[in-house]
Structure 1
Amino acid sequence: MKIVGTGCGPGMLTEAAIAVLGEARLIYGSDRAIALARSHIPEDCEVRTITDYKRLRELPAHAVVLSTGDPMLAGLGYLPGEVVPGISSLQVAFARLRLPLTRAAAVAAHGRDHAHAVETAGREVNRGKIVFLIADPAFSLAELVRALPPATKIAVCENLGYPDERIALGTAAEPPECTAELYVVVAGDF
């Protein structure tokens, strides 16, 4: 099996990912991941939408599994097989904000325990890290900012890599508004 990162937005597939897709005969992915890779999928390739993430380990050895962004950043990189990295939302957000990746502390709240993510983010900001938090539509930015010192800078990065990309800046005392379901939060001293 090969797990291929599609990048976080259109046009962010790597050459290595495109090469794997060009030889694929069976591809699984979310609707979004399939859409990001569609132009590089051969016409004779069977493409299936993932309906049960718990059964992905049962896929045949020749399957290619698409993971949005990079499989190793809260993606499908836990699956057995070769991982082909993708351009992650962390890379794009830090590039847009001109922040060094060496200061990053990644925190996943997408589909996970939000209270634990908020606690971890607060601890990392207090250690001097710049937190990169992967949110989901149910995540509460209000809960996060209550756990941070008021002067902490906050960036809400929405739809990274898409034409409607938006980055809003603020502080924990005056946080930016979230207007999209697909977003990440960057918090810290930057």
Structure 2
Amino acid sequence: MEHKIIVAGIGPGAKEYVIPMAMQAINEAKVLVGGTRALNEFSHQGQKTFAIKADISAVMDFIKVELNDNDVVVMVSGDPGYYSLLSALRKNFPLENIKVIPGLSSMQTAFAKIALPWQEASLLSFHGRVPSDEDLKYYPGRIIGMLTDNKFNSNAIATYLIARGWDKNARAYICSRLSYPDEKIVSLSLDEAQTKACASHCVMIVEG
């Protein structure tokens, strides 16, 4: 296989947050794969495109065919190494044919927005999954960053953590629409987060 899959992280959303190397790969791509929003935002006339939807096997089949003639640029939100299509690509293609261009993850962006170092934080996800109770264990000073979804929104996660021993006075940050003009970051106690500032598909950071 001569051609490569170039997995480009496109950051949390706004174009200004895409690193130049990723933008160059996207602009020069003959074949571009990504979510519908990303394709509407980044694709241009003359590119062959394919939208990532629920059928991941269809995405893999499209890429396999296109690799016969061209490199394929796959856009993924945030950073490719953090809950993205990269895992599926690794299972379907030789590693030597995959090139990854990193991006700013929504998690990294959220920590930056609240000026909180994240080298000792636990990074978890409630997006389509539930962390184990062991992973959610509370101790004073612990920091966790979490991806949310519709079921486990910020209200539900606050209640879930308190039920598992988290201090009600722990500081919670609810970070939604990161990098967009309507970005919103709310800081409140974990107790208050049970009923206020509900947000889904966002980043929630809790500082014990």
TM-score by length of 2: 0.78
Q: In the alignment, is residue 122 of structure 1 matched against residue 121 of structure 2? A: no
Distance in 2 separating the partners of 1:19 and 1:122: 40
Q: In the alignment, is residue 47 of structure 1 matched against residue 49 of structure 2? A: yes
Report the Cα offset of residue 127 of structure 1: 7.3
SS at match of 1:170: strand
Extract structure 1 runs of 4+ deviating beyond 4 A. Answer: none
- Aligned counterparts, 1:31-110, within 5 A: 31-36=36-41, 38=42, 41-51=43-53, 52-58=55-61, 59-60=63-64, 61=67, 62-78=71-87, 79-80=89-90, 81-110=98-127
Report the Cα offset of residue 77 of structure 1: 2.4
Asked if structure 1 preserves the Cα contact closer than 8 Å seen for 2:122 and 2:145, the reply is: yes
For residues 124-149 of structure 1, the C-alpha deviation after alignment (integer angstroms, 9 at most, x for no partner) is x4274411101111112232343322
Distance in 2 separating the partners of 1:152 and 1:13: 33
Distance in 2 separating the partners of 1:65 and 1:127: 41
Asked if structure 1 preserves the Cα contact closer than 8 Å seen for 2:147 and 2:201, the reply is: no
Cross-structure match for 1:149: 167
Q: What amino acid is aligned across from residue 29 of structure 1 in structure 2?
A: G
- Structure 1's unaligned 5+ residue stretches are none
Cross-structure match for 2:93: none
Distance in 2 separating the partners of 1:73 and 1:172: 25
Distance in 2 separating the partners of 1:160 and 1:18: 19
Distance in 2 separating the partners of 1:166 and 1:120: 30
Report the Cα offset of residue 181 of structure 1: 3.4
Cα distance change of structure 1 residues 68 and 121 upon mapping to structure 2, 3 Å threshold: same
Cross-structure match for 1:167: 185
TM-score by length of 1: 0.85
- Structure 2's unaligned 5+ residue stretches are 91-97
RMSD: 2.1
Q: Which shifted more, 83-92 or 26-35?
A: 26-35
Number of corresponding residues = 182
Larger radius of gyration: 2
Report the Cα offset of residue 174 of structure 1: 2.0
Q: Percent identity?
A: 26
Report the Cα offset of residue 9 of structure 1: 1.7
Asked if structure 1 preserves the Cα contact closer than 8 Å seen for 2:121 and 2:144, the reply is: yes
